Structure 1
């Protein structure tokens, strides 16, 4: 014990010498005593072998030398007095700079070390010295990515077994331990961070552990941020908080908070901490708030007259609508239906709606069903009031579903009200079509492309672009595609609408049409990197369109003249699938591939580049459309997914179609 105390005293003297010499800018040594664990030697308790053990190990009559080595490995490894003596001896050599054969330059400091010790503890140094590189033979090496104080802590750990961690430096030590491939030091850092985890550092620890694949601690830190969100926001330097971290918390269904006021305040504080660079993100962040649930007092005092809100007409309108919910309670249901984020599970429910589809070549559905994540059940909704056939199109506007065309209803148009669970008629299209696309931009609905075999021209593709304004209740022709196409993907950036790929009159195409809403002109801007089949798209953000192809290629277009291919889903090979977005969750539904029709409902994970299981259709189908909408819970009455022809009670159904109706079964999910 006297020897251990002597080494400890010499170590403290050496540490004081290095600390006093080191540049304060590079070390960051000034800390309170409460922030650190005291240096504690960590020698393992010695194992004292019995006489019989000693005889067995060292007996010259052992059967072989290999057997002796094997017994040494199992009985003596790290458990004898020799191990403790060796550590004490190495610590003594290190503290007194004796028999050193390597100088390690870190910043302005030079550390005298022993190659054998560095190689024994760090795979990084072992690989360096065994590589035959220049550093392997030099008496001096330089480390550029580690601070002197950090390397001093690492050497103390190597030679003496001391754990000297500080709250402010443990992250740097962890980074260095990963670089130097010191797994035991990495584990000690993780233990220290876990014991010091709090609301003031859980976000930093979460991101750090994610970066280094420390899953358990990353999960623990994230869960703390979700459960203690209000305190975390109060203890966090919002200027340093990255947008993706804030968004990741806001969109999580496990987020705990006392009211929507808290979330609104967090967003406003984050933007106001750097308004010059963050005001442009306000509209994107506000989609994670259910404004009608924000208190009237907060809406009036914090948002209504805030310059950041008044300068953004779209957010200003949403705030006005939310205030109207408080002033005119009868308006609340209608306004709640328009919300993009919805957390309440009382009177309202966000569900995945599936429309139409094929279950066989001859069975083309017009049924509408929805999947509820809360009850994990399918429910039947009001079916489309007429036969739509194949290749119809749908889009969302203010939580209402608009549907047009299809092979059996080329010029018909209807819209579905989730509030009423009913369909309503719209004026007929000027140009009937199938294989077209719809998109809602700036409160208007646009129809582009498609084909119509009723056209008298040789080319059956439809060039005319039609627009519908709910206020005017009329379809107007507002332009023409530069290259008419069918079975393509569609997206928008700012005031421009893009068509991606599809088929022109000569076959598959990789061209992109760009229609400018303001000038009502259209042109071909560039071609995609490759011709791909069955492109589907979702609007990730107002300025970002994500596309998924039938071969699994995932791409992003941001409106410029470049097209970024992100990655490929290796096992995905499917056509005629549905694609929708629920918050930030991108969902792939059904489709048909080499193995037939699919009943899979999967979430596309951008981080892992994989499809993750979410649910299953009651029966495999393709050619469907899917949307995420908010419904009144009272409309979730009929369990199961209806597969067949319901009684036609609405308008516009020819007698010949009624005669062809065949009853089908109703598939229930048990």
Structure 2
């Protein structure tokens, strides 16, 4: 009676692959040649047939290629052909970002099932806002059903942010209809309508799909102001009897509603700042900088209590607020020759500040603390809000829109150096003024202290800082609305590391200062669309704390 001899099949298979690979490298027993571009690759027929249905069919019949012992693969990337052959001999593959689609094309053409499934899983694991459109196109072209389903789920979950990208306008009709019909978006009809009109207006030939796609919009759940706006200002809607009928049925006689457009959170800035203003200790004046014209203009004299002291500034309701050594000042910068007004004192010596819902919040900057003070201009009084969980120093403070229509605003404390570990932290905490409570927000990908933050088109950007071992200059992090993770953006030609402030003006982000505690002389311009940064200005005569700089609408 025969008995099974136990052999480690995994080791046997690996040894077999290794041996075949060695035979290929030495051209031993090779009996077939693959040509691609200038590449000439000696291979073994048995290896090709065992791995590839394409080659199995070719070598199983009396084909020209089988007879001549060679095949030329045309109109493909030769490098990817080599990678596919290497995969057949090793079971391993590597690919650069720019070659992912080409490698998938060759693997799919050669019917290398294991390889193109591996590529699909690889793309799925790296799916984010920057890769979504290219990944979905690969999934659609090469019938990767699981990957396509993952992409569609990602798009529906993050529909508002996805709709702001140029790639959304290029999606096929069936894809747009799939997104709009998702139950996940049932309560987001205003956003659905805005996105749909952007998609239709991109190509005049899409007007034929108007009535069909508009059936996916529940007009009664679109904000009244936006219904009136599209009826008056969108030719696609005003020119459609069917659309106007649906609007009339949903609105009836609500003619008192004022027309108002809506904006998607990633696309338009809510505050139209035009200038950066610095407190210059050399001349003891406020200087405004126009990023477009790259020119400086003197504005007002500084209050004597501000000169050569750590200051932080914020603008709100045409007032410029300056905080210096527990003292609070404000000035109506829209009024010619306006005087400084001294307000109630705070208990915090040096802090970084933001404005939120008519209240100014300040976090101690140079001392370990978990306290946040808030100033109410109507009451001219300072109070403490509930403490954060952890005491930190050199944390960044910012605000973030948390709701797509109503715009509930959140105070956000980012990173810093932890008091217990004395290390940079990746923690992010958010405060809801409506409930007066703190909650944990998604952690940063990289721990950062002394970083800077700005909210641009309702997306939060974090630049610079120290990760505990080095200054971070090669990447920033962004937090899209309604997502549960930060995304990393690689920076090009970015040099600011710490002691700088960030401002969003027009469609750019500007950094003021770099590395020097008392100097705001450097101004860099970052373009979110191209992810490039350049030095815009270097003014050696300006002497002022970067945290005292502020963006104003002048």
TM-score in terms of structure 2 length: 0.49
Task: Specify the structure having the higher radius of gyration (Cα).
Answer: 1
